[in-house]
Structure 1
Amino acid sequence: MLVDALLIGLLMFLGMLTDTGLGDPMIKRPLVMGTLTGLVLGDLHSGIVMGASLEVIFLGITSIGGALPSDSFTGAIFGTAFAIISNQSTEAAMALAVPISLLATTITTVVNIGFAAMMPQVDKFNEEGNQKGVVVIQMACMILKPLAFGVIGFLGIMLGSDVISSLINSIPDVIMNGLTVAGQTLPALGMAMLLNMLWDKKIAVFLVLGFVLYAYLELPLIAICLIGVVIAMYTSYKDIDLNNSLNSKRSELAFENDNSEEDFFND
């Protein structure tokens, strides 16, 4: 258990470090984190399946303004880890990931408050022209947040896995079945949130096309995705041609207007 806890803690540290130190190259996504969690815990297949399922749940969740969304990063790691360690299903991982992600958002808020407390010192260094001090605080913030999450990952697995396993095993079947049903509906909720942002009556026909291809023609998802790529590329090139044509017409009209003004003043 100690090795698993150390690996999960290291994974959380490195995952958060990609956000604070590398500008978030999307390594923190549930699909990646779930896969890596399964890899370090010796169950890659379950990690991939759980990561993909959790990715769908959190697909439409994003940060708007100063509001923090659910922490899909922490939820994916802990949800996948607890489900693998306790030999539970993908639905159990999804049921665990959502409340854990909400709790992790509170932790992120506390860490950010700690960072905000450092800002007066940063202002002081700026006024003094002490660039080295500003860099030191920046590097400290870049390391401290991943370190905090790494410790949380280690303690969560080291101290919480047995408790979580006992808790899951003690849940009555009727409640566990309810959680399973809820877990199965969460991916649909995630897709609905995403479609709500993307929905446009002009492109709704493509949604119908995808449904027909899958439900009636029984095409595999990869084939449908490739068809979608072809349609997207075709429409993109058409839009580029249309924009170029409009720009060309605007240039011609501007040139004609300039000539008309010159002729007017010449007369």
Structure 2
Amino acid sequence: MDLVLFIQALLIGIFCYLGSVSSPWLMGVTGGYYVVGRPLVAGLIVGLILGDVTTGIILGVAVQAAFIATISTGGTQNSEITYAAYGGIALGMLAHASTGVTVTLSVGIGALGLILHNFMMVINSYWNRRAEQAANDGDAKGIVWNNAIYPQIGNFILRVVPVTLAVYLGQGFVSDALKAIPKDVTTMMNVLGGLLPALGIALLMNLLIREKAHFIFFLAGFVFIAFIKNNMIALTVFAILIAYIIYLVKQKAGSTVELEDEVI
């Protein structure tokens, strides 16, 4: 038994639990699901645990881009992002997989993780009925246990155990599988995995760009990064200045219209 790898896998599983949407320990979803549960942050954490921060962040950025436009409508999800982030990035790093293969692996793990997440919700419906019964009986202790303690135990087990076992036992399987897979198939996985972040960005643009004129700013930012200066800080400062100028122009235009209305 590789004790070091087991401890690393256990830590990754614990962070997968802390970053889940049902975990209350890091200020609820504020510090958990929306910070620790994001693939970009998960890449940093997994990189720190496995001793390769650079690779962790690179893979985290790629997986984050693939899931960047993922939204939950009415509580429904099409993938479980925390399983995808911690399970996929960790296995990708341990198996020395390429970025594209890691993204593809993360998407598959996220789909499997969604099954466990839905199973947890089914179990929680049982605790919910018990909590209602405890409320009817005036049992304050029963309300606390059935609302806070028992559901978190189930959430902990369904996240920490599968992710820990997957990382500890699966890294050898993934490495052997990648070696056994024909090169053409691996190339296809790289290509498809490379397209997923682009698809995520496209979906995000579809959500954010409401007017055709807004596409000009996206294109200007792309040209700036690709051909002029590869510096995100400089681009961010430049974008803030442009946004402020547009705000001033619109504010002045609105004041002018109001003044004309008063004159009329």
- Whether TM exceeds 0.5 here: the answer is yes
Quote the Cα distance in structure 2 between the aligned partners of 1:221 and 1:111: 40
The answer to whether the 8 Å contact 1:13/1:147 transfers is: no
The answer to whether the 8 Å contact 1:78/1:97 transfers is: yes
Q: Which amino acid is 2:5 matched to?
A: D
What's the counterpart of residue 202 of structure 2? Answer: 192
- Going from structure 1 to structure 2, the CA distance change for 1:6 and 1:238 (only over 3 Å counts) comes to farther
* 1:26-37 matched pairs, under 5 angstroms: 26=34, 27-37=36-46
The correspondence for 2:97, drawn from 83, 88, 102, is 88
Unaligned runs of 5+ in 1: 254-267
Quote the Cα distance in structure 2 between the aligned partners of 1:195 and 1:99: 24
Q: Which amino acid is 1:107 matched to?
A: L
The answer to whether the 8 Å contact 1:94/1:183 transfers is: yes
Shift of 1:209: 2.2
- Going from structure 1 to structure 2, the CA distance change for 1:5 and 1:235 (only over 3 Å counts) comes to farther
Quote the Cα distance in structure 2 between the aligned partners of 1:31 and 1:170: 30
Pairing 1:107–2:111 present: no
Quote the Cα distance in structure 2 between the aligned partners of 1:15 and 1:237: 44
What's the counterpart of residue 5 of structure 1? Answer: 6
The answer to whether the 8 Å contact 1:14/1:146 transfers is: no
1:181-220 deviations in Å (ceiling 9; x for gaps):
1111111011011111112224223123223423453453
* 1:108-127 matched pairs, under 5 angstroms: 108-127=117-136
- Going from structure 1 to structure 2, the CA distance change for 1:2 and 1:156 (only over 3 Å counts) comes to farther
The correspondence for 1:128, drawn from 119, 134, 137, is 137
> Which structure would you say has the larger RCO, counting Cα contacts within 8 Å and 6 or more residues apart?
1
Quote the Cα distance in structure 2 between the aligned partners of 1:57 and 1:132: 43
Pairing 1:221–2:232 present: yes
Q: Which amino acid is 2:221 matched to?
A: G
The correspondence for 2:166, drawn from 156, 171, 174, is 156
The correspondence for 2:28, drawn from 23, 29, 33, is 23
Quote the Cα distance in structure 1 between the aligned partners of 2:244 and 2:137: 53
Aligned-residue identity in percent: 26
Pairing 1:231–2:242 present: yes
Moved more, 158-167 or 203-212: 203-212
Moved more, 217-226 or 67-76: 217-226
Quote the Cα distance in structure 1 between the aligned partners of 2:227 and 2:177: 43
Quote the Cα distance in structure 2 between the aligned partners of 1:137 and 1:234: 54
- Going from structure 1 to structure 2, the CA distance change for 1:232 and 1:142 (only over 3 Å counts) comes to farther
Shift of 1:168: 1.2
Quote the Cα distance in structure 1 between the aligned partners of 2:50 and 2:78: 27
The answer to whether the 8 Å contact 2:46/2:89 transfers is: yes
Quote the Cα distance in structure 2 between the aligned partners of 1:131 and 1:81: 41
Quote the Cα distance in structure 1 between the aligned partners of 2:154 and 2:125: 13
Q: Which amino acid is 1:189 matched to?
A: L
Shift of 1:7: 2.4
Quote the Cα distance in structure 2 between the aligned partners of 1:38 and 1:90: 14
Quote the Cα distance in structure 1 between the aligned partners of 2:144 and 2:250: 45
The answer to whether the 8 Å contact 2:9/2:168 transfers is: no
What is the count of residue pairs matched by the alignment? 248
What's the counterpart of residue 184 of structure 2? Answer: 174
Shift of 1:39: 1.3
Shift of 1:46: 0.5
- Going from structure 1 to structure 2, the CA distance change for 1:144 and 1:179 (only over 3 Å counts) comes to same
Q: Secondary structure at the match of 2:228?
A: coil
- Kindly name which structure, 1 or 2, has the bigger radius of gyration based on alpha carbons: 1
The answer to whether the 8 Å contact 2:12/2:164 transfers is: no
Q: Which amino acid is 1:95 matched to?
A: T
What's the counterpart of residue 87 of structure 2? Answer: 78
Q: Which amino acid is 2:220 matched to?
A: L
Q: Secondary structure at the match of 1:182?
A: helix
The answer to whether the 8 Å contact 1:2/1:158 transfers is: no
Unaligned runs of 5+ in 2: none
